[in-house]
Amino acid sequence: MPAARKPERIRPLARALIRASDADRRLRLAIAERLGVSASDFDALLLIDTAGPLTAGRIAVAMAVTTGAVTGLIDRLERAGWVQRTRHEADRRQVLIELAPARRDALDAHWAERERIVLEATSEVDDATLAACTGFLEGVADRLTAGIAARADDEAAARADDGDGDRAPLGELERGRLRFPSGASRLALRGARIKDLYRATFRGRRPQIAVEDGTVAVQYKGFSWFGVRDVGAELTLTTAVPWTIEIRRGVSHLAADLRELQLAAVEITGGVSESELSLPRPRGTATVRIAGGASRLTVKRPRGTAAQVIVRGGASNFVFDAQRLGAVGSATRLATPGWESAPDRWSIELTGGASELSVIEL
């Protein structure tokens, strides 16, 4: 086993690695500017080009950005003709982001320029040394990646030790139900490929949680939401089973990125405001039912998905895809062409009126 080196002996190497990383960053910035895209957009293009077609969720994880941010990024690149959305061959519900064929030459030119620079820098290095350097750099990258992951695991463990984390095993469960019987204030939901049934963190007052036969009940007892700002919950639900989500007594500031889930229904009573739901591709007829009114609500569904929207109680500002209807009457129904015969479709129903309601495609 090699003897341990003193830190001062490897500092020049560490600085050289930083210089190489900084030079690479400058090269990417220069090419991004030349192509007319932002640095983050160009990083996304390189990721997709290297890894192949990816879901938006995988891109968000790889780039360490929020799902909301990656949606905007993908929309920009699609409008500019850099990427396109396609369906997964095995799972048609899954939307993949891939490089547009018309832009292949621009990315190939980038790789060619990079290879030329590296070739010039290594022109006097023999093949054996080059192979050794490659193995060394791969090892450093693996160590850095492992260190980042270990730090994230340590931070997660620390949060759990502090009582801020909660989870339950998936076991042999075949379906899940998430219930908020007493409502929620600031609630963030998402789906992910995790081995637990769910994982949760809470801010401020902690709720009571009961788990039985796949039902996760999160309840804030004896609590009024009026004026509450410092109480919040973030839950991640496993994508391994289909889910039904039920929220009673209303919710404000709901951010639900449910695109990775199998979702049968979302039911909210007591109203909803300042909220956004991003829905997955449905199986059969999936439903969103909201009773008690809605204010500043946006519902997004996968592009090309059949949907109907029923609003009872009127709406003051109603947008359905490209239709901007403004105010509508007491009972309104709109549907995409062919909704009645579509085997997989969304039915979105609101009772109690709506203000600033948008139902649009992702």
Claim to verify: residue 117 and residue 184 sit in the same structural domain:
no
Whether pLDDT at 182 is above 70? yes
The reported pLDDT for the residue numbered 320 is 92
Distances (CA, A) of 298 to 87, 250, 259, 317: 24, 16, 14, 12
**Last residue within a domain, chosen from 124, 151, 183:** 124
pLDDT digits (tens, 9 = 90+) for 44-91: 898 898 888 888 888 887 777 666 678 888 988 999 999 999 877 666
- For the chain, what is the mean pLDDT? 84
* Residue 66 belongs to a domain: yes
* Residue 142 belongs to a domain: no
Q: What is the CATH number of the domain that holds 107?
A: 1.10.10.10
Claim to verify: residue 88 and residue 174 sit in the same structural domain:
no
The reported pLDDT for the residue numbered 5 is 63
List phi, psi (to 5°) of 133. Answer: -65, -40
Mean of pLDDT values over 254-260:
92
The reported pLDDT for the residue numbered 265 is 96
Split at pLDDT 50, 70, 90, the class of 35 is: confident
Greatest mean pLDDT range, 7-16, 66-75, 309-318: 309-318
Q: Which domain holds residue 187?
A: 166-361
Claim to verify: residue 208 and residue 116 sit in the same structural domain:
no
Claim to verify: residue 193 and residue 339 sit in the same structural domain:
yes
Cβ–Cβ < 8 Å for 28, 43: yes
* Residue 107 belongs to a domain: yes
* Residue 272 belongs to a domain: yes
Which tops the pLDDT comparison, 344 or 95? 344
* Residue 262 belongs to a domain: yes
* Residue 34 belongs to a domain: yes
Claim to verify: residue 120 and residue 177 sit in the same structural domain:
no
Claim to verify: residue 118 and residue 186 sit in the same structural domain:
no
Claim to verify: residue 233 and residue 114 sit in the same structural domain:
no
Whether pLDDT at 227 is above 50? no
Instruction: Give the total number of structural domains in the chain.
Output: 2
Claim to verify: residue 265 and residue 352 sit in the same structural domain:
yes
* Residue 157 belongs to a domain: no
Contacts of 46 (CB under 8 A, 6+ apart): 28, 107, 110
Q: pLDDT exceeding 70 applies to what percent of the chain?
A: 87
Q: Which region among 83-97, 220-234, 242-256 has the lowest average model confidence (pLDDT)?
A: 220-234
Greatest mean pLDDT range, 23-27, 77-81, 231-235, 292-296: 77-81
Claim to verify: residue 86 and residue 204 sit in the same structural domain:
no
Q: Identity (one letter) of the amino acid at 196?
A: D
Split at pLDDT 50, 70, 90, the class of 164 is: very low
- Considering the entire predicted model, what is its pTM? 0.56
pLDDT digits (tens, 9 = 90+) for 196-210: 999 999 888 888 999
**Last residue within a domain, chosen from 109, 124, 139:** 124
Claim to verify: residue 199 and residue 338 sit in the same structural domain:
yes
The reported pLDDT for the residue numbered 209 is 93
**Last residue within a domain, chosen from 124, 139, 154:** 124
Split at pLDDT 50, 70, 90, the class of 147 is: low
* Residue 129 belongs to a domain: no
Whether pLDDT at 181 is above 70? yes
